[in-house]
């Protein structure tokens, strides 16, 4: 079906309509071979509260944005390459139903559908596109994913020290490594994670120590690999490059991982059944 629709006029018109809805704030979406397969409104778990978002499924990317006027105007466009996507179905809670997680190397987040059928439709379409794309490109499925951010409403206290209470004056922060809601004292460090950003990002104290330890292990492994080459070089004594990072062995409390938060009251709509 995707190959059949790739060069049709109706496909071109639909992609152009999506581009027009995002206006100048959106990126161009028309590419040779790209097919728009369907669209729908899902509830996305955001930092403050769940919010409806428009999603467009193409054969190679997933596009979503904020709804200004449905079917007429959208903004805050996000484009996710499907070859970077992994899906994880989540259990229902009393308040939130039909949830699943969209995981990528740069960002992971939870969405929910209005019905179980709608969730099955979305996941089926997504999995089919991902499988087709990976087969075509020869790439392996992504195995490293960004942690989803825990919503602000999940806790009134820091999820690391469990002492600091949040208020109007005491702000919530998020660790970019684990996604926990933490206070300023528990997240003063920054660490460069190229997979997520070219700039150092805020991380909690526990993740910072773990990241430093991992970096030290990688450096030690690199040193061992180059050591035979150095020892084979006669008459050359390399200078010491010992870079010892002392790690704090204090254990931070782990926040319970079974808190659930998501809901939706919108319906699936697809161009093709």
Quote the DSSP letter at residue 47. Answer: S
98 vs 104: CA distance, rounded Å: 20
Q: Are 172 and 152 in contact (CB under 8 A)?
A: yes
Q: 224 pLDDT exceeds 60?
A: yes
Question: pTM for the whole thing?
Answer: 0.73
Radius of gyration, CA atoms only, the chain:
23
What is the length of the chain? 273
Q: Are 118 and 98 in contact (CB under 8 A)?
A: yes
| Domains of the chain, earliest start first | 1-137 (2.30.29.30), 147-217 (3.30.40.10)
- What is the reported pLDDT for 219? 87
* Residues 73-101: tens digit of each pLDDT: 999 999 999 999 999 999 987 777 999 99
26 vs 28: CA distance, rounded Å: 7
Confidence of residue 188 (pLDDT cuts 50, 70, 90): very high
Phi, psi at 186, each rounded to 5°: -90, 5
Choose among 77, 39, 85: nearest CA to 58.
Answer: 39
Q: CB count, 10 Å around CB of 215?
A: 14
């Amino acid at each position: 079906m995707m190959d059949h629709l790739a060069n049709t006029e109706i496909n071109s018109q639909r992609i152009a309509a999506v581009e027009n809805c995002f206006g100048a704030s959106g990126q161009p979406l028309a590419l040779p071979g790209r097919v728009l397969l369907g669209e729908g409104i899902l509830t996305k778990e955001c930092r403050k509260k769940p919010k409806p978002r428009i999603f467009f499924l193409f054969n190679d990317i997933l596009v979503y944005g904020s709804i200004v006027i449905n079917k007429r105007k959208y903004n805050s466009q996000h484009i996710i390459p499907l070859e970077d996507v992994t899906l994880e179905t989540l259990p229902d809670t009393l308040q939130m139903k039909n949830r699943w997680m969209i995981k990528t190397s740069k960002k992971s987040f939870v969405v929910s559908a209005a019905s179980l059928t709608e969730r099955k439709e979305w996941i089926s379409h997504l999995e089919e596109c991902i499988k087709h794309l990976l087969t075509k490109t020869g790439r392996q499925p992504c195995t490293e994913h960004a942690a989803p951010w825990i919503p602000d409403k999940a806790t009134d206290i820091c999820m690391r020290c469990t002492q600091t209470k949040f208020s109007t004056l005491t702000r919530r922060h998020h660790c970019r490594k684990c996604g926990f809601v933490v206070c300023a004292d528990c997240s003063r460090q920054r660490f460069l994670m190229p997979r997520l950003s070219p700039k150092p990002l805020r991380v909690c104290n526990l993740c910072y120590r773990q990241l430093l330890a991992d970096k030290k292990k990688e450096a030690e492994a690199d040193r061992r690999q180059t050591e035979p080459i150095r020892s084979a070089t006669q008459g050359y004594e390399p200078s010491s490059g010992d870079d010892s990072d002392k790690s704090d062995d204090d254990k931070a409390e782990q926040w319970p991982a079974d808190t659930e938060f998501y809901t939706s009251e919108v319906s699936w709509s697809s161009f093709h059944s």
